Amino acid sequence: MGAQPEGKLREFLDKHLPSEGELAAEAEADEAHQLLEAGDTQAALQKLADALAADPANDDARFDYVRLLIATGGYEEAGALLAEPLKRIPQATRFEALNQWLQCMLFVHNDERGNWEFAQFDAVIAQNKRDFDTRFGKARALAAEGQWAASMDELLEIIMRDKDWNGQAARKLYVGILELLTPPKPKKQDAIPGKSSGGIELLGKAGAEQDEATQLVNSYRRKLSMALN
């Protein structure tokens, strides 16, 4: 083939090379991850906001920013940033997982039961094992505190009795927790070690602990499969 016209060459490069905005977003996101490792959460939030502003289509930046917003109490902004990806068809699993986590945090902050001790939930449930609303509230409260396995245990109790209850709310939260806990597949050499694909920060954790997280996820996937079949 002969030399390509300059216009064709530029078109090819524009199509296959990242834009300035995409490169800027990646650089901002990388800095944010370094700041997180150093414990500077506020600076990391700003870097992720800058990354998303530089490249609004960057779902990785959006995901990391929303995740950190939820973890630091920025619920209103997190909800606003989730609105668009939650409308997509098919729905993006990882953003739905973040939404489930956000709803757990909002339950604790807005519902009067968010101030209950877990023993209070247990006392109500003991009166009626099929009080799924109370059990679901307990599961949400447990998830908000990061007690993921205990939360899924409560959700399993609902699923085993009525998997379709409340639009399959228990199954959806359960699946969301699994997504949050699932370690990501390595993407490139500068990928951050010790970070799950969802809202759970594992920075600094050893490989053995990641293996433990994988074992937990696999175990609870099997439990869900058995409950649904």
Residues 108 and 151 reside in one and the same domain: yes
Percentage of residues of the chain with pLDDT beyond 90? 66
pLDDT in tens, 1-45: 455 566 665 565 455 445 555 666 677 777 878 888 888 899 999
Cα-to-chain-centroid distance, residue 20: 28
The 3-state secondary structure of 75-134 reads: HHHHHHHHHHHHCCCCCCHHHHHHHHHHHHHHHHHHCHHHHCCHHHHHHHHHHCCCCHHH
Of 62, 88, 114, the domain-final residue: 88
User: Does residue 150 lie within any of the structural domains?
Assistant: yes
Residues 151 and 221 reside in one and the same domain: yes
Residue 133 is predicted with a pLDDT of: 98
User: Does residue 8 lie within any of the structural domains?
Assistant: no
Residues 39 and 137 reside in one and the same domain: no
Residue 213 is predicted with a pLDDT of: 87
CA distance linking residue 210 with residue 113, whole number of Å: 33
pLDDT at 47 over 70: yes
CA distance linking residue 22 with residue 134, whole number of Å: 45
Of 38, 63, 88, the domain-final residue: 88
Domain count, the chain: 2
* Domain of 82, in residue numbers: 19-88
User: Does residue 195 lie within any of the structural domains?
Assistant: no
Residues 109 and 171 reside in one and the same domain: yes
Residues 163 and 75 reside in one and the same domain: no
Residues 66 and 98 reside in one and the same domain: no
Q: How confident is the model at residue 183 (pLDDT cuts 50, 70, 90)?
A: confident
Residues 74 and 175 reside in one and the same domain: no
Asked whether 145 and 213 are in contact (CB, 8 A), the reply is: no
Asked whether 200 and 191 are in contact (CB, 8 A), the reply is: no
Residues 178 and 105 reside in one and the same domain: yes
